[in-house]
Amino acid sequence: MTTLQLSSQFIKSTAIDLGFDFCGIAKSTFLNEDAKRLETWLNKGMQGKMHYMENHFDLRTDPSKLVPGAKSIITLLFNYFPEEKQNIDSPKISKYAYGEDYHLVIKDKLYNFFHRIKEKLGDINGRGFVDSAPVLERAWAQKSGLGWIGKNGNLINKNKGSFFFIASLIIDIELEYDEPLAKDYCGTCTSCIDNCPTEAILPNKVVDGSKCISYFTIELKDALIPDQMKNKFDNWFFGCDVCQDVCPWNRFAEANTEKRFEPISEILHFTSKDWEELSEEKFKIIFKDSPVKRTKFDGIKRNLNFIKP
């Protein structure tokens, strides 16, 4: 085996040892087609009030702006599909937020991953990212053969569906690169488009972020949610999983085994009454390490009031 092959093999085996489900490697290049799509999306205002999406355009499309001399993009997938689900009649929370904040969990693993790579392969410069910097993770995941971009905008893996966190490590050494998946396996299926409660999923793999339930319940910081969205949230008050729940490929999803992603008991068992009676003090205690705290107490109360019949 060549040095590149041995290095790449070590990287992939290390990723699996640390609990990542999949690891792919792509050559660092300028994302020309993705840059055009992102520019069109922004020009149409589909980012809504997520103004951060308008910033650092060059960093999103050119890895060398984030890591000088970037040669390789390592993409890692980590399963978050839960074994247990919420009480069926309760206000709904997206599955990614059932346990501890994924930023904390995955960053710890990513730091360890990069440390092991440097110990084995020598003086390497690089940076790791977990949904916290201007990196087009799904584009790199597709380029490294880990799946395809579905009509709902999510990366879909043929073996285990789409309930994954995506992490990226940009480094300045060459490796053996994986081939992009040649085929889009969505085919003629339109389940995600047909079932989106707010019609946010458009043809040609375009998602209007300004109409997505996750946007309104997490990203939008306004005191009020627009009245025209009333009765369209299907009881979701933090995020939304409809487009993933109806995706046929998620019949292959398997429960994760990460202890830190075990669901918070209250998320599984709270009734509507429990949520209504939740105090700010208890909210801060229960959700101190949870993604749910991102919306803050006032945001949670706003969302709960909005989905009331």
pLDDT score for 90: 94
pLDDT score for 30: 84
Q: What residue segments make up the domains of the chain, in order of their start?
A: 1-177+189-309
Instruction: Catalytic residue, from 17, 58, 108, 131: name it.
Output: 131
pLDDT score for 140: 94
pLDDT score for 136: 86
pLDDT score for 57: 64
pLDDT score for 226: 95
- The whole model's pTM is what? 0.94
Residue found by looking up tokens 């440097």 in the block: 118
Closest CA to 109 of 83, 124, 128, 122: 128
Q: CA 8, 180, 248 angle in degrees (round to 5)?
A: 115
pLDDT score for 88: 81
| Spatial separation of the C-alpha atoms in residues 11 and 120, rounded to whole Å | 9
| Spatial separation of the C-alpha atoms in residues 143 and 69, rounded to whole Å | 19
The two structure tokens encoding residue 184: 């889009």
C-alpha distance from residue 9 to each of 3, 42, 108, 166 (Å): 10, 38, 22, 20
Concerning whether 131 is annotated as a catalytic residue, the answer is yes
**Would you give per-residue pLDDT tens digits along the chain (309 residues)?**
898 999 999 999 999 999 999 999 999 998 878 777 877 877 888 887 876 766 666 767 789 988 999 999 999 999 999 999 998 889 999 999 999 999 999 999 999 999 999 999 998 999 999 986 667 899 999 999 999 999 999 999 999 999 999 999 999 999 999 999 888 999 999 999 999 999 999 988 899 999 999 999 999 999 999 999 999 999 999 999 999 999 999 999 999 999 999 999 999 999 999 999 999 999 999 999 999 999 999 999 999 999 998
pLDDT score for 46: 81
C-alpha distance from residue 53 to each of 65, 92, 218, 274 (Å): 17, 26, 15, 35
pLDDT score for 134: 67
* Long-range contacts of residues 155-161, Cβ cutoff 8 Å, at least 24 apart: 155/77, 156/185, 156/186, 156/247, 156/249, 157/22, 157/77, 157/249, 158/185, 158/249, 159/252, 160/21, 160/79, 160/252, 160/253, 160/254, 161/81, 161/244, 161/247, 161/249, 161/250, 161/251, 161/252, 161/253
